[in-house]
Structure 1
Amino acid sequence: MSIFERYGCKQVINASGKMTALGASAVHKDVAAAVAEAAMDYVDISELMVQAGKVIAEVTGAEDGCPTTGAAGGIAISVAAVIAGTSLSLIERIPLTDGLRNEIIIQKGHSVHFGASIPQMIAIGGGKVVEVGQANHVEKDHIAEAVTDKTAALLYVKSHHAVQKGMQSIETMAAIAKDKGIPLIVDAAAEEDFRKYVAMGVEIVVYSGGKALEGPTSGFICGRADLMVACRAQYKGVGRPMKIGKEGIIGLLTALRRYDNRPDESQQQRERMEWLIAELKDVPGVKGAITQDEAGRAIYRAQLTIDAKAAGKTAYELIKELESGSPAVYTRNHYSNLGIISVDPRPLLEGQERVIAQRIKEILQA
């Protein structure tokens, strides 16, 4: 029995991805041990925050860093930092920023919902959202012409949730930001390359610590030194209700330290998905294929297209039965309206693809 079952929760097989709603990641034993050790001791949190910034800088190539509760908190803190800086009187005003330089420009196709909305995270940080262009088409001039003396920063969302076509690139936004003398914030929550955007000259980059990094529930910001000092200063204001504790910081730093030395499991993960597709090839109404992640990451999932007439059930019905079973199986369902469900190999524990195959057979061959 798992620790969650002891508290009355159902057993879950996460085939959806590094999803916050399912607990993001199952951490490595070394990370878990570090969290436990930190939980049983004391530290000066302000000192730990500074030292954490040094580790984040070392791993990302940035000048400095700031730990957070997650990428969502990182967006709010980053926005507050570009508006209030290190001024305590301004920090204590956030999110009430009327009269301040508080506008955050975002492409309309990036104004998305990820479990909460990007505009709400900006607003929590005191930002006034300025959406530019259309949901499927943004030109460089849309962004450049929106910059005024009220603009605090540009924000780019690198996510599978965002519109992938018709948007301007990070490079374009970085060039505009440089030309206008304002910072660019990149929300790179689930991205795997922690050095890429800093190397491009982006001033503020926000990551999740519980997704690609496979750390505990946490996140971090990295970038220009003065802005990272400002980010840490927000814990005297809006950052207080979203503060990260000693355990989360140490778990984050432990995961960062081991990140570059993790074994590459991508080939093994792909082989597990190929096995799953082969195992289901004779199930009526199920057609399997390997597909790459929508945002271009080196993640390959098993995509299962359900022919409702041949299978006897729609994709929605299959999803419902998978989630209501024991164990509950959560698949990746962004395209379920097209009859498609996907299985993400990254969060699967050993042998769970076999359980998934068996459950699908039981449901569709009943």
Structure 2
Amino acid sequence: MGIYQSYGLRQVINASGKMTALGASAVHPAVAQAMGEAAMDYAEIAELLKAAGKKIADVTGAEDGCPTSGAAAGIAIAVAAVIAGRNLRLIEQLPDSEGLRNEIVIQKGHAVHFGASVRQMIALGGGKVVEAGHANHVEEAHLREAIGERTGALLYVKSHHAVQKGMQPLETMIALGREYGLPVIVDAAAEEDLRLYIAKGADAVIYSGGKAIGGPTSGFVCGKAELMEACRAQYKGIGRAMKVGKEAIVGLLAALERYELASKDAGEQLQLVERLVAAINELPGLHAAVVQDEAGRAIYRAQVKVDERTAGMTAHELIRLLEAGDPAIFTRNHYANTGVIAFDPRPLRPGQEAIIAARLREIWSNRK
């Protein structure tokens, strides 16, 4: 019996992805061991934050880093840092930022909901959101016209949630940041390349520790040294409500150490997906194919189109049947309204793809 089953919860097979709603990542035993050791000992947190910043800098190529409780907290803390800096009076005043350079310019197609609102995370840090352009079309002129005397930073969101066409590239944002003397913040929460955006010239980049990195629920900001010092200073202000514990910091560092050594070859995952696609295509009314992640990452999933007439059910009905079982099987459902679901191989534990295929066959055999 698993730990969650001992509390009366059903077993979960996560074929959705490294999703916060399902606990993000199942950590490697070495990460769990590091967290356990950290939980049974003490450290001066201010020193631990600085030491973690150095490790984050080594991994990302940034000047420094700051651990956070998650990527969402990273947005709030990074915004607070550009508004208040290390001024304690201003830090304690936030999120009240009246009269300060508090406007955060973001492309309209990047003002997304990721489980919460990007706009709300900015507001928690004292930022006032200024959206540039339209949801599917932003020109450089839109960004220029959004910049004013109260602008504190430019925020770029790199995410599958964001609009993938019609937006200005990060390079435009960075060029504008340099021209106007404004920091550029990149929300790269689930991205796999930990060095790319720093190398491109971003001043601060936010990552989730529990997504691609495979660590515990955590996150970090990396970037310019002065800005990272300001990020850590926010733990005397709004950061206090979103502080990250010693166990999560150590788990994050252990995951980063493993991440540096991990192979980025997607071959094994691709083979798993191909086996699952073959099994699904044996079922009438389901049409499966291997597709790459919509944001361009080296992630391959089994995408399934549900033919309602032949299958005798809609995609939403199939989702409910999969989630109602024990184990409960959770799929990736961003396009369920179009009859499409997907299975993500990354969170699957050995042999779980066979359980998914068997459950689908059971559902099909019980159709009326």
Q: CA deviation at 1:265?
A: 5.2
The equivalent of 2:289 in structure 1 is 289
1:82 has 2:52 as partner: no
The equivalent of 1:359 in structure 2 is 359
- Cα shift readout 1:25-51 (whole Å, capped 9, x = no counterpart): 001111000000000000000000011
SS of 1:114's equivalent in the other structure is coil
* Mapping for residues 285-324 of structure 1, pairs under 5 Å: 285-324=285-324
1:33 has 2:33 as partner: yes
- Cα shift readout 1:246-302 (whole Å, capped 9, x = no counterpart): 000000011111212113451111111110111122211011100000100000000
Structure 2: gaps spanning 5 or more residues: none
* Mapping for residues 85-104 of structure 1, pairs under 5 Å: 85-104=85-104
Q: CA deviation at 1:331?
A: 0.3
The equivalent of 2:342 in structure 1 is 342
Higher deviation after alignment, 262-271 or 34-43: 262-271
1:274 has 2:274 as partner: yes
Kindly provide the amino acid, as one letter, of the partner of residue 106 in structure 2.
I
SS of 1:234's equivalent in the other structure is helix
The equivalent of 1:20 in structure 2 is 20
Q: Alpha carbon RMSD of aligned pairs, Å?
A: 0.7
Between the aligned partners of 2:364 and 2:142, the Cα distance in structure 1 is 50
The equivalent of 2:63 in structure 1 is 63
SS of 2:152's equivalent in the other structure is strand
Kindly provide the amino acid, as one letter, of the partner of residue 171 in structure 1.
E
SS of 1:313's equivalent in the other structure is coil
Kindly provide the amino acid, as one letter, of the partner of residue 161 in structure 1.
H
Q: CA deviation at 1:226?
A: 0.1
> Is the 1:102–1:152 Cα contact (8 Å) retained in structure 2?
yes
Between the aligned partners of 1:230 and 1:24, the Cα distance in structure 2 is 28
% identity of equivalent residues: 64
Between the aligned partners of 2:342 and 2:293, the Cα distance in structure 1 is 11
* Mapping for residues 155-166 of structure 1, pairs under 5 Å: 155-166=155-166
* Mapping for residues 84-233 of structure 1, pairs under 5 Å: 84-233=84-233
> Is the 1:138–1:167 Cα contact (8 Å) retained in structure 2?
yes
Between the aligned partners of 1:229 and 1:263, the Cα distance in structure 2 is 32
Between the aligned partners of 2:288 and 2:5, the Cα distance in structure 1 is 32
- Cα shift readout 1:114-133 (whole Å, capped 9, x = no counterpart): 00000000000000000110
TM-score by length of 1: 0.99
> Is the 1:313–1:364 Cα contact (8 Å) retained in structure 2?
no
Aligned residues: 366
Structure 1: gaps spanning 5 or more residues: none
Higher deviation after alignment, 145-154 or 229-238: 145-154
Instruction: Return structure 1 stretches of 4+ with deviation > 4 angstroms.
Output: none
Q: CA deviation at 1:84?
A: 0.1
> Is the 1:70–1:220 Cα contact (8 Å) retained in structure 2?
yes
Between the aligned partners of 1:103 and 1:263, the Cα distance in structure 2 is 40
- Cα shift readout 1:74-105 (whole Å, capped 9, x = no counterpart): 00000000000000000001100011110000
Q: CA deviation at 1:144?
A: 1.2
Q: CA deviation at 1:365?
A: 2.5
Between the aligned partners of 2:54 and 2:34, the Cα distance in structure 1 is 18
